[in-house]
Amino acid sequence: MDPDTVRRVVAEFFGTFWLVFGGCGAAVLAAAFPNLGIGFVGVSFAFGLTVLTMAYAVGHVSGGHFNPAVTLGLWSAGRCAHRHVIPYIIAQVIAAIAAAAALWLIASDKPGWVPGGFAANGYGPLSPGKYGLASCFSIEMLTTFFFLFIIIGTTSKGAATGFAGIPIGLALTLIHLVSIPVTNTSVNPARSTGPALFAGGDHLGQLWLFWVAPIVGAVIAGALTRWMYEREAIVDTVVVERRRVS
């Protein structure tokens, strides 16, 4: 890989590691802590804050995807080069597994600790609210669709420059507030993969949904926004050409 791609991949690794470590760490280490538990509202904000902080830390290097569904959605929208898609996704998945491993090492050192679901995602018996397959697939697809819609809209021409990280982080917080009771919230195949590997069992068997549904939602959002902003791109091209002629 060329040096620019290496820098981008490293940025994606650290951004995804922080997302999984911070978000899933809040669920595993802090959500149910006696008398001081932050609950699912706290976990929702933890995930939003991880994206918000890393968007400003490394977003200018790699674009701040931290999520295979985001990478594929942005590729669908024409916002991510073909050559970056596979390296980004590999880095994101490895980072998520590494973050889950770090959480396991930290959490398992506490006497009497029981891993439970280890912040993994699930449907049916593994859903926090025991929601079925159709409900879980639908909410993962819809929430990822709107997550990409917000990401692309807030980073488009005409949006407030330099502030995209705020609505993106708040969008992820809102998504968690809505969907934690349904699937424990994924919208991110890498985030789902890391904890599932350590939770094992049926969590691994259900992992397919948390790849397929977010990617479907993201790619649809990317295609739609590409169409929505096509006129804007054409107008900008005409303006540039007129300036060159003049």
SS (H, E, C) the chain: CCHHHHHHHHHHHHHHHHHHHHHHHHHHHHCCCCCCCCHHHHHHHHHHHHHHHHHHHHHHHHCCCCCHHHHHHHHHCCCCCHHHHHHHHHHHHHHHHHHHHHHHHHHCCCCCCCCCCCCCCCCHHHCCCCCCHHHHHHHHHHHHHHHHHHHHHHCCCCCCCCCCHHHHHHHHHHHHHHHHHHHCCCCCHHHHHHHHHHHCCHHHHCCCHHHHHHHHHHHHHHHHHHHHCHHHHHHHHHHHHHHHHC
Q: Is residue 241 over pLDDT 50?
A: no
Q: What is the mean pLDDT of residues 145-164?
A: 91
Angle at the Cα of 185 from the Cα atoms of 180 and 187, rounded to 5 degrees = 150
Tokens matching residue 169: 């982080």
- Domain 3-245 is in which class? mainly alpha
In the block, which residue shows the tokens 């809040």? 26
pLDDT at 82: 96
Q: What is the mean pLDDT of residues 91-114?
A: 95
Q: Which residue type sits at 155? A: T
In the block, which residue shows the tokens 């804007």? 232
Q: Is residue 36 over pLDDT 60?
A: yes
Cβ contact 120:199 at 8 Å: yes
More confident residue, 135 or 37: 135
Q: Is residue 245 over pLDDT 60?
A: no
Q: Is residue 236 over pLDDT 70?
A: no
pLDDT at 32: 73
Instruction: Give the model's confidence band at 231: pLDDT under 50 very low, under 70 low, under 90 confident, else very high.
Output: low
In the block, which residue shows the tokens 């999520």? 67
Domain boundary assignment for the chain: 3-245
Q: What is the mean pLDDT of residues 228-240?
A: 50
Query: If we measure between CA atoms, which residue out of 65, 77, 70, 82 comes closest to residue 223?
Result: 77
Query: If we measure between CA atoms, which residue out of 48, 74, 65, 14 comes closest to residue 167?
Result: 48
Cβ contact 91:13 at 8 Å: yes
